[in-house]
Structure 1
Amino acid sequence: MLPVPVPEIEGPLPGSVPGDPLADDVEDTYPFFSTTENLDLYDYVEEEFVISGTANRYSGGEVVSEHPYRTRVVVRRPDDPRDSNGTALTEWQNVSAGSDLDALWGPSAKHIMRSGYTWVGVSAQNVGVSHLTEWSPARYGRLDVTDGGTVGGDQLSYDVFSQAAQALRSSGDLTGGIGIDQVLAIGASQSAGRMTVYYEEVLPHIEPVFDGYGFVVGTAPEADRTEPVFQVLSETDVAWIGPAEDTGTFRRWEVAGTAHSGWAGRRARAEIEERDFGRQSQYDCVEPPFSRAPLHHVLNASYDHLSAWASDGTPPPSAEPIARTGQGEIVRDGDGFAEGGIRLSQVEVPTALNTGDNAPANPEDYFCVLFGSHVPFDEDELVERYRSHAQYVWEVNRVENENVREGYVTRADSLRTRLEASRR
């Protein structure tokens, strides 16, 4: 097994987000996609670092060449080490939209912070790094994961990701002195695909640096290692990813009514996109876009399960898959809801039709296929379904109790859903 070296670490880098009192006292820009969450409320801090070193290019499991790299890492962590749970969620930044996106931080930020996780975002791919160098040449101009353009196909990304994890394991330089006992790899969509390649083609030849793997709304490998693999799919993804069986080191959860990229993520990104891009994109979809069924509630529970699974071998509960026809199509009831799967109260006790299905009304808005749909019920439909508001709240509580008991949602997220139902 090839050892994974510890990269050089520079930082934390100076710079503040607009509106920060320190912004007038520094000459640098702020970190791209710096969070707009209220970190002070949870006594968290955000810091940005540069890591650099030598990454390998592989072919058939063999190292064919070595190349220098230099990239950035964003860390959001408890300010006080005593508030840390000792686990780092290390996210492979998603670049499907042409720039770094911390897809799994935004919707789950409150759970991550109230639980004491350290979140780490790694800029591993050239699309994201190139955008950074254009967005702020002063801050990011020296970043490069292509060895001056001589290595394409993001072939260095795998070692970049590994070395970021090794930095977390080896010292507290990235974490303000917080000791990290467990490093989990997480990635969404395109990033899950890159992590699948990492797991299947690179990991067998290097020393393991991750204790477990979370593949979200994307592909996942057939788990054949001791480190556990947890895959969570939205309803959108079930339409194009084939079925899989749970094993001793693999779990898959499929969540009815949820979208690959739903409302919670869009809402979490709104201020950031308006700040860093000048606007948040609008889309013309066949159905009203962005399912409101909260996939992130299930993701929050999955992180806690994955951490326990990796630390003490306690496997997550299994879950019924979304029902499919013999041709692989999703089975729907008479109202249009997907059958089977993990059933959140927003789907089981609905006030709207939430699905993982949609399409572009304008060919340019091809991302519509990822957003799912949300069609609110009118007053007549609500009256037909529920005799009273009290009955509606009772049924929400019943489903929430069941999902908490099964381990599919956390108590904190369930409480939020119950409060929203009581105020509806």
Structure 2
Amino acid sequence: MKHRRLCRAAVAAAVIVTLVPAVPAVAAERSPVPVPVVSAPIPGTVPGDRLAPAVEDTYPFFSTPDDLAAKGYVEQEFHLSGVADGWDTSGNQVATDVPYRTRIVVRRPAADRAFNGTALVEWQNVTAGYDLDALWNGAAMMRAGYAWIGVSAQRVGVDQLRGWSPARYGALDVTGGGRYVADELSYDIFAQAAKALGVRGNGAPLGRLDVRTVLAIGASQSAARMTVYYQSILPKVEPVFDGYAFIVGNAPTRVGPEPVFQVLSETDVRTPVRPSPDTDRFRRWEVAGGAHSGWRGQQYRAPISVRDLGAAPVYDCAQPPFSRVPVDHATAAAYDHLVRWVRSGVAPPTAPPLLFNADGTKARDELGLALGGIRYSQVTVPTARNTGDNAGQSFCFLFGSHQPFDEATLDGLYRTRGGYVAKVVHADLGNVRSGYLLPADALGNLRDALASGVGG
């Protein structure tokens, strides 16, 4: 206890010296975030036999099937350990120096020259009962050179890991031996994971990569946890993240020095009342036709679920599930904007909100597509009715819907293939110019349009 207090005092002094120009005077009262003990990379980084007794014969849970090596990337897993403070959801400190042990998964460029200098630290989502790397977007992240770090911060995810592979994860605990089961330690653990990225030497999570910018990212429930952290806890502790991305979930209303970017699908926008307007520290984007949990994420995770859980979930929804509108295009653009915002003070572009009728329902066109918001070519040059709405069992309400148009409707919309493709290109160029779409994703949309056969 005494040792940690001395460490906190030393770190606080360093924070004051380096951040005085940008941080208010109250920063002197902030508690420092300790650097956790980082293990060497855990052996077994390639999926194998998880039932084997030796750690070397296991692999990280939900290890990505993406071909990382072809893109010059590596995946490694580390254990973090130390002592963490506990906080309730109102920002009251409820515990001090509670021992913990958890894991992080790192996907990063193998070579320094391929790294763009930014680490995306994701609070892994546990709504399904296990750790989910909801925001891993391999194609976009690897082409840009980001490092991605997934943090197991919550009890539900860690408990599932312990049962999934006792050999690999049996020593993990984020509850202080069962004393703090409401994720009171999760906020400090998440922050300590960011501090761990500065560790150097053998076994460093980021190897020899030189990190310039550290962004906190979280989706859905994880965004809600990050909101508690930013809103009520961050004013009392050392800032360790340079910016925050809250994806398909809550965002804080407090205005702090660290910029906040919120990206919402159509699913997530349920009322015309917005809690916070855009400011010089806050941006909110709303994606027309997008779903909280859409098609691309489901397609990516299905084979992993079969491999690690025995089967992929099957849903019986009121409408055909999983909108094809790529919300991940918005998040990819948002990360790049957020980096520029942090490094150069260049604020991201604003975006129009989704529109609502006078009775509070979402405004839609004659094809049933949402009006307003960021409108990707999948909405402005549609081949299907994609919405953010659905109903039915389990998580169906989060999946949105996808109902392809029949041939007669398509023939009425697009007389020729060239005309259809030209409209897609025109829509995507407009979104690129507006800053809502990256050129590489526009090119991907063009390839999809050419392969679609729409227009004959």
TM bucket by the smaller chain? over 0.9
Q: Give the aligned partner of residue 191 of structure 1.
A: 222
Match of 1:229 in 2: 260
Tell me the equivalent position of 1:220. Answer: 251
Q: Is contact 2:120-2:215 (8 Å) kept?
A: yes
Moved more, 237-246 or 273-282: 237-246
The 3-state SS of whatever aligns with 1:247 is coil
**1:413 and 2:413 are equivalent in the alignment:** no
State the alpha-carbon separation in 1 of the partners of residues 55 and 183 from structure 2.
33
Q: 1:261 aligns with which of 293, 313, 329?
A: 293
The answer for the alignment partner of 1:383 in structure 2 is 411
Evaluate the alpha carbon distance shift between residue 223 and residue 42 of structure 1 in structure 2; reply closer, same or farther with a 3 A threshold: farther
For structure 2, the 5+ residue unaligned runs are 1-29
Letter in 2 for 1:236: T
Quote how far apart the aligned CAs of 1:318 are.
0.2
Equivalent in 57, 60, 72 of residue 31 of structure 1:
60
Question: Residues of 1 paired with 2:205 and 2:366: CA distance?
Answer: 52
Alignment partner, residue 200 of structure 1: 231
Residue 68 of structure 1 is matched in structure 2 by: 99
Deviation at 1:242, TM superposition (A): 4.1
Per the TM alignment, residue 306 of structure 1 is displaced from its structure 2 partner at its CA by 0.7
CA distance in 1, matches of 2:342, 2:407: 47
Structure 2 counterpart of 1:161: 190
Could you give the per-residue CA deviations for residues 259-300 of structure 1, whole angstroms, max 9, x where no partner exists? 000000001112211100111111000110000011111111
Paired residues of 1:188 and 1:217 also in contact (CA < 8 A): yes
Letter in 1 for 2:266: E
Gaps of 5+ in 1: none
Q: Percent identity over the alignment?
A: 57
Q: 1:127 aligns with which of 137, 143, 156?
A: 156
Q: What is the root-mean-square deviation of aligned Cα atoms in Å? A: 1.7
Does structure 2 conserve the Cα–Cα contact (< 8 Å) formed by 1:15 and 1:29?
yes
Deviation at 1:64, TM superposition (A): 4.1
Deviation at residue 169 of structure 1 after TM alignment: 3.3
Structure 2 CA distance for partners of 1:241 and 1:100, relative to 1, 3 Å:
farther
CA deviations over 1:350-387 (Å, ceiling 9, x no partner)? 00000000000xxxx22000000000011111001111
**How far apart, CA to CA, are the structure 1 residues paired with 2:143 and 2:406?**
36
After superposition, what is the alpha-carbon deviation per residue over 1:294-327, rounded to whole angstroms, capped at 9, x for unaligned?
1111111011011111111111100000002345
Residues 169 and 183 in structure 1, CA contact (< 8 A), matched pair in contact too: no
Matched letter for residue 391 of structure 2: A
- For the residues of structure 2 that align with 1:382 and 1:89, how far apart are their CA atoms? 40
Partner of 1:10: 39
Report deviation, 1:36.
Answer: 0.3
1:147 to 176, 184, 188: 176
Amino acid across the alignment from 2:164: W
The residue identity in structure 2 corresponding to 1:177 is: R
Deviation at 1:61, TM superposition (A): 4.2
Q: Residues 410, 16 of structure 1: CA spacing in aligned structure 2 closer, same or farther, 3 A cutoff?
A: same
Distance in 1 of aligned mates of 2:433 and 2:405: 29
| Structure 1 residue 248 corresponds to structure 2 residue 280 | yes
Distance in 2 (alpha carbons) for counterparts of 1:111 and 1:303: 10
**Alpha-carbon distance between aligned partners in 2 of 1:255 and 1:94, rounded to the nearest angstrom:** 21
Report Cα offsets for 1:170-200 as digits up to 9, x if no partner. 5461111211111000000000000000101
In 2, distance between residues paired with 1:63 and 1:259?
A: 37
The amino acid that maps onto 1:160 is I
Residue 241 of structure 1 deviates from its aligned partner by: 8.4
1:140-164, Cα deviation, whole Å (9 max, x unpaired): 0000000110112100000000000
Instruction: Indicate conservation of the 8 Å contact 1:223/1:229, yes or no.
Output: no
8 Å Cα contact 1:255/1:295 also seen in 2: yes
Map of 1:393 onto structure 2: 421
Superposed CA offset, 1:45-64 (max 9, x none): 00000001111123654464
Give the AA of the match of 1:288.
P
Q: Is the 8 A contact 2:86 2:186 kept in 1?
A: no
What secondary structure sits across from 1:146 in the alignment?
coil
Aligned position for 2:336: 304
Rate the CA distance shift 1:225–1:406 in 2: closer, same or farther, 3 A.
same
Letter in 1 for 2:152: S
Looking at structure 2, the residues matched to 62 and 148 of structure 1 have their Cα atoms a distance apart, in angstroms, of: 18
Query: Which deviates more, 11-20 or 319-328?
Result: 11-20
Amino acid at match of 1:310: V
| Structure number, greater radius of gyration | 2
**What is the CA distance between 1:25 and its match in structure 2?**
10
In structure 2, the residue corresponding to 1:68 is in which secondary structure? strand
**Pair 1:313-2:345 in alignment:** yes
Q: Tell me, yes or no, if structure 1 residue 111 matches structure 2 residue 143.
A: no
One of 116, 120, 124 as aligned partner of 1:93: 124
CA offsets, 1:230-250, max 9 Å, x none?
000000000268413100100
CA contact (8 A) 1:219 1:241 kept: no
Shift of 1:40: 1.2
Secondary structure at the aligned position of 1:134 is classed as helix
TM-score computed with the length of structure 2 as normaliser = 0.88
What secondary structure is seen at the aligned counterpart in 2 of 1:2?
A: coil
2:111 aligned residue? 80
| 8 Å contact kept, 2:388–2:398 | yes
Corresponding position of 2:9: none
Counterpart of 1:384, as a letter, is G
Aligned-residue offset at 1:414: 0.3
Distance 1:190 1:58 in 2: 17
Residue 333 of structure 1 and its aligned partner are, at CA, apart by: 1.6
CA distance in 2, matches of 1:169, 1:220: 27
